[in-house]
Structure 1
Amino acid sequence: MTRAYKIPESVLVVIHTPALDVLLIERADHPGFWQSVTGSKDHPDEPLGETCAREVREETGIVIGSPAVPADALRDWQLANLYEIYPVWRHRYAPGVTQNTEHVFGLQVPAGTAVALSPREHTASVWLPWREAADRCFSPSNAEAILQLPRFAQGGAKPTP
């Protein structure tokens, strides 16, 4: 049996309301580590929009393409971060892989959108004003993405095909 390694290409989805409240979720494997939805491609040819939809559904129960959250609510911010994978998580990647490319997206949902966490991955969720959310993130790239939310929420992003 061969071990399936994670692909070092992922998405970061900043889920927010029209009022710019941001959803953060706490990692089950590291209490106190708050983040937006993130996740790697399942296979190298998986379109990034599909990766976003899958990860958002798996981690929060929010369904992109539903009546409450139409497909065009997902916006590609056309940003990519190249970062060093934290040593604690490198065992998930093929030997020698130390960097990941993270593509940033925004997802606007209605205020009051219910969240159903995957308990295997996350233990708590909170909606916070965008600046507070950025301050709570453990990941610098996630915090930076949230700080850019006002710019992208005002039309500075493209609909995801």
Structure 2
Amino acid sequence: MKYKLPVSTLVVIYTTNLDVLLLERADYPGYWQSVTGSQDEGESLAATAMREVWEETGLDARCYRLMNWQAQNTYEIYAKWQHRYAPGTHYNTEHVFGLELPCILPVQLSPREHVNFAWLPWQEAAAQVFSPSNREAILQLPEKNFPENELYTARKN
């Protein structure tokens, strides 16, 4: 079994009107979250974020504003997911990104990962997610200021 690296990205996908995309986990129905996933060996954090967005939603992050929020969270890996990591690995470091879309867009779920999605106003989205770090990221959304030099990608011409 190939173990996950204890480094991940959390990508809050939202519209300019602050509607947030949430995904319901296939392996734990009722658990809602933003896009998240582990970094692959040798992959940059931005590449991890873009790959996870594509795999989980079918959205091409290169077409929109993907921003590294310069925030990270270290947390204890939930016991129910501990088997995915090498023995002795107890903590994961999550790097937070935002992906701004111009409007609500259709998504293509990966059925092995998610069974449902919802676009919710940011306050409702924050109340719905199970992860404290995901909740905190969503609650900070209205206050974020993203200078152009912090963009990883920009809208295509």
* TM-score after normalising by structure 2: 0.93
Structure 1 partner of 2:5: 7
Inter-partner Cα distance in structure 2 for 1:80 and 1:135: 20
- Moved runs in structure 1, 4+ residues, more than 6 A? none
| Paired-residue identity, % | 58
Structure 1 partner of 2:46: 49
SS in 2 for 1:19: coil
Q: Is the 8 A contact 1:77 1:156 kept in 2?
A: no
**Mapping for residues 60-139 of structure 1, pairs under 5 Å:** 60-65=57-62, 69-70=63-64, 73-139=65-131
Q: Is the 8 A contact 1:56 1:63 kept in 2?
A: yes
1:112: how far off?
A: 2.7
- What one-letter code is carried by the residue in structure 1 that aligns with 2:127? D
Residues 22-46 of structure 1: CA deviation (Å, up to 9, x unaligned): 0000000000000000000111x21
1:159: how far off?
A: 1.2
- What one-letter code is carried by the residue in structure 1 that aligns with 2:93? T
> Which residues of structure 1 form unaligned runs of 5+?
none
SS in 1 for 2:61: coil
> Which residues of structure 2 form unaligned runs of 5+?
none
Count matched residues.
Answer: 152
Name the Cα RMSD after superposition. Answer: 1.3
* TM-score after normalising by structure 1: 0.91
SS in 2 for 1:148: helix
1:156: how far off?
A: 6.3
Structure 1 partner of 2:140: 148
Inter-partner Cα distance in structure 2 for 1:46 and 1:102: 14
Inter-partner Cα distance in structure 2 for 1:62 and 1:150: 22
SS in 2 for 1:119: coil
SS in 1 for 2:118: strand
